[in-house]
Chains A and B, each alone.
Chain A
Amino acid sequence: MQTAHDALAPTVGGGQAAAAIEAQGLVKTYPGGVRALDGLGFAVQAGTVFGLLGPNGAGKTTTVKILTTLSRPDAGRARVAGLDVLRQPDQVRRLIGVVAQHSGVDREATGRENLTLQGLVHGLRGRELRRRVAGLLERFGLAEAADRVVGGYSGGMQRRLDIALGLVHRPQVLFLDEPTTGLDPEVRADLWEEIARLATGEGLTILLTTHYLEEADRLASRLAIVDHGRIVVEGTPDGLKRELRGDAVQVELAEPEPDARVSGALDRLDTVREVTLEGRSLRARSDSGATAVPSVLAALESAGVKVASVTVARPSLDDVYLRYTGRAFGEADEGGQ
Chain B
Amino acid sequence: MTTTLSHSWFMTRRHLRNLARQPWWIAITLVQPIIWLLLFGAVFKATVDIPGFAAASYVDFLTPGIVVMTALFSGGWAGMGVIDDLNRGVIDRFLVSPAQRGALIAGRLIQLAIVSLIQSLIVILLGLLLGARFPGGPLGLLVLVAFSSLLGAAIGALSNGMALLARKEETVIAVSNFILLPLTFLSSAFMQRDLIPGWVQRVARFNPVDWTVQAGREALGTQTDWGFVLARFGWLLCLAVACAWLATRAFRSYQRSV
Contact = CB atoms under 8 A, between A and B. Distances in A.
B223 interface: no
A121 B256 contact: no
Contacts of B94: 121
B158 to A, nearest CB: 24
Interface in B84-136: 88-90, 92-99
A207 interface: no
Nearest to B88: A107
A65 B21 CA distance: 32
A59 to B, nearest CB: 14
B89 A123 contact: no
Contacts of A72: 255-256
A102 interface: yes
A276 B7 CA distance: 62
Contacts of A269: none
Contacts of A31: 257
A203 B59 CA distance: 69
Contact of A121 (B7, B21, B255): B7
B98 A108 contact: no
Nearest to B100: A121
Interface centre among B7, B10, B96, by most A CB within 10 Å?
B96
A96 B97 CA distance: 8
A165 interface: yes
A90 B14 CA distance: 23
Interface of A (DSSP majority class): loop
B258 interface: yes
A18 interface: no
Contacts of B22: 108
B17 interface: yes
B65 to A, nearest CB: 33
Interface centre among A93, A105, A117, A165, by most B CB within 10 Å?
A117
A97 to B, nearest CB: 9
Given A107-B88, A120-B10, A69 B21 contact: no
A90 B255 contact: no
B98 A68 contact: no
B253 to A, nearest CB: 12
A104 interface: yes
Contact of B98 (A70, A105, A109, A123): A123
A117 B88 contact: no
Nearest to A103: B89
B215 to A, nearest CB: 36
B10 A121 contact: yes
A98 B95 CA distance: 11
B227 to A, nearest CB: 43
A333 interface: no
Interface centre among A71, A98, A105, A121, by most B CB within 10 Å?
A121
Nearest to B15: A108
Given A69-B96, A121-B94, A104 B21 contact: no
A108 B93 contact: no
B18 A105 contact: no
A204 interface: no
Interface string A58-95: 00000001001111100000000000000000100110
A149 interface: yes
Contact of B17 (A65, A96, A109, A123): A109
A320 B97 CA distance: 36
A157 B18 CA distance: 20
A121 B90 contact: no
A139 interface: no
Contact of A104 (B18, B92, B256): B92
Interface of B: 6-7, 10, 14, 17-18, 21-22, 88-90, 92-99, 255-258
10 contacts: A68-B96, A102-B89, A104-B93, A105-B88, A106-B88, A108-B22, A121-B97, A121-B99, A122-B98, A123-B98
Given A100-B89, A108-B22, A121-B10, 12 more contacts: A70-B96, A71-B258, A72-B255, A104-B89, A108-B18, A108-B21, A109-B17, A118-B97, A121-B99, A123-B98, A149-B21, A165-B93
Closest 9 CB pairs of A and B: A104-B93, A104-B89, A108-B18, A68-B96, A121-B99, A98-B96, A102-B89, A120-B10, A71-B258
